Amino acid sequence: MLKPNKLANKNFLSSLDITNDEFFHILELAKNFKNKRLNIDLDYKVLGLIFDKASTRTRVSFQVGMSRLGGTTIDLNPTTSQIGRGEPIKDTARVLSRYCDVIAIRTYDHSDLVEYAKWSTKPVINALTNLEHPCQALADFLTIQEEFLDFKDVVLTFIGDGNNVANSLILCGALLGVEVRIACPKGYEPNSLVIKKAYEIYKNKDLLKISNDPNSAVLGANVLYTDVWSSMGEENKKTKKDKCFSGFTIDNDLLSKAEKDAIILHCLPAYRSKEITDEVFESKKNRIFDQAENRLHAQQALLSCLLA
């Protein structure tokens, strides 16, 4: 029977904190959880959630996933805990390590997440920072694998802001050898250090393409992926970004340039008529809600490995 393997790295702060083999193992576990072929009991283990940003899918999927594993979740709202009053991260991390078995953190600065991991004696999971969203990428590639069975010859095109989601897709693409194309307006490219790291990992450097032309980026693509143009915390940039991203909307015209078997992904929430049209969002090519469901199964698999 398939069993969770303990991960070599204690924490999951980045997509690169797991190996290629560990990535595929997590995906296989996730599929078994999804199809109810695997039942793991973690004996009342406790997951602590620290969310400095709003969340629907990440929060609920972690809570439900932990519950299905026989564990419990404590939601630590910064506004109702000492975290919000400025308690040092190193103190919070050391205290929570005495109460929780694993901690998932959603925060703004990636450096804060690293600081938590430095002081925590228990595994820390990146539930989203301004740099990466690795849990989302696990669900994304699970969805792609379900659709195309493997990643051979799959072309993934992300259109929009070179944000944390784009960064994680790039790193996972490098890890798995998947062709990833990012199309964004000038000045909104993904993190330069992420791009550099990906090029160091890719055996074929041509599999990563960064451009400012969505029309060429979708040619021959099997997966069209987008996200909101203005991430949480960028509300003051919304008007400017809406203008800059004109022409980067996934519509039927753009979709027609992709492969006939192309699917649509979006990590949600979606703003119709901005990054994607309602017509494309509601089309038969939509795998967005499968993708959202897969957050639960992928994170359940991740938790079972971190706590194996």
Question: Catalytic amino acids?
Answer: 106, 133, 136, 227, 267, 295
Distances (CA, A) of 43 to 2, 36, 117, 121, 125: 19, 19, 24, 19, 20
DSSP state, 53?
S
Contact present, 46 and 100 (Cβ < 8 Å): yes
Residues 6+ away with beta carbon under 8 Å from 139: 291, 292, 294, 295, 297, 298, 299
Q: Which residue type sits at 248? A: F
d(CA 109, CA 15) in angstroms, rounded, equals 17
With CA atoms as reference, report the closest residue to 226 among 206, 207, 251: 251
